[in-house]
Amino acid sequence: MLNRNEQILVVEDDTQIRNFICYALKQEGFSYTTAGTAQNALSQLVSGQIDLMLLDLGLPDFDGMEVIKKVREWSEMPIIVVSARDQDKEKAAALDGGADDYLTKPFSAMELMARIRVALRHLHKIESSKTQSILSVGKLKIDFDKRLIYLDDAELHVTPMEYDLLALFFNNIGKVLTTKYILKEIYGVGYGTDTQVLRALMAGLRRKIEKNPARPRYILTEIGVGYRLVDE
């Protein structure tokens, strides 16, 4: 069991879920602290050394969005929000408001650890400011210097926009990207709600990189939220 350096803050008012999360974290060797209200969370965030926060969106005292907004005023720490299944709009808003990823209740310990791993990986990448010019996921590879995409070691012809889209995903491997965020990064600010153009672009790209577009291995759809390039 590795003893990790990171301190995780678990903000969850449901005792059973909080206990479950803490048990899973303990199994993986993480140190953690808990809070049942936003007030408690904020005071810990201000005074303590927190490296990552798990934040329930349904807290009794404050809207989770408020907590995110406040924390983002002074910290870039990874924030993973926890919410119920029918809260797609809230999840997307939280992500667009500064959260990095989300978990939907009920979730398994495996999903929890996968999200934390991805979040910490990105945190360390930002901290080390080391950039690799070649990244790969499965048989899909990107060369940032040459602006080329490879599939199964063969060069894959992609349009400039498809390249930009893949580059965006490769800079965020394992992390969910909201539709709004992708539209802004690829098309610019004016395309706010035109999801149709993104769906068409994604579909075209999917036909190039996926064996079966309806059973994707690389870019998964997260309904109501956005997309994710998965590693495993």
DSSP code per residue over 151-207:
ETTEEE---HHHHHHHHHHHTTTT-EEEHHHHHHHHH-GGGTT-HHHHHHHHHHHHH
Q: What is the dihedral of CA 65, 90, 26, 220, to 10 degrees?
A: -130
Stretch that binds other proteins, among 8-16, 151-159, 170-178, 194-202 (CB under 8 A): 194-202
Residue from the set 49, 74, 86, 129 that interacts with other proteins by CB under 8 A = 86
Stretch that binds other proteins, among 42-50, 159-167, 181-189, 204-212 (CB under 8 A): 204-212
147-186 footprint of other proteins as x/- string (CB under 8 A):
----------------------------------------
Task: Find the shortest distance in angstroms from Cβ 115 to other proteins.
Answer: 15
DSSP code per residue over 40-107:
HHHHHHHHS--SEEEEES--SSS-HHHHHHHHTTT----EEEEE-TT-HHHHHHHHHTT--EEEESS-
Residue (44 or 87) nearer to other proteins, CB: 87
Query: Under the criterion CB under 8 A, does residue 69 sit at the interface with other proteins?
Result: no
Residue 70 half-sphere exposure toward CB, CA atoms < 13 A: 15
Task: Find the shortest distance in angstroms from Cβ 176 to other proteins.
Answer: 14
Query: Under the criterion CB under 8 A, does residue 138 sit at the interface with other proteins?
Result: no
- Classified as helix, coil or strand, 12 is coil
Footprint on this chain of other proteins (rule: CB under 8 A): 20, 23-24, 85-86, 88-89, 106, 108-110, 195-196, 199-200, 202-204, 206-207, 212-216, 220-221, 223-224
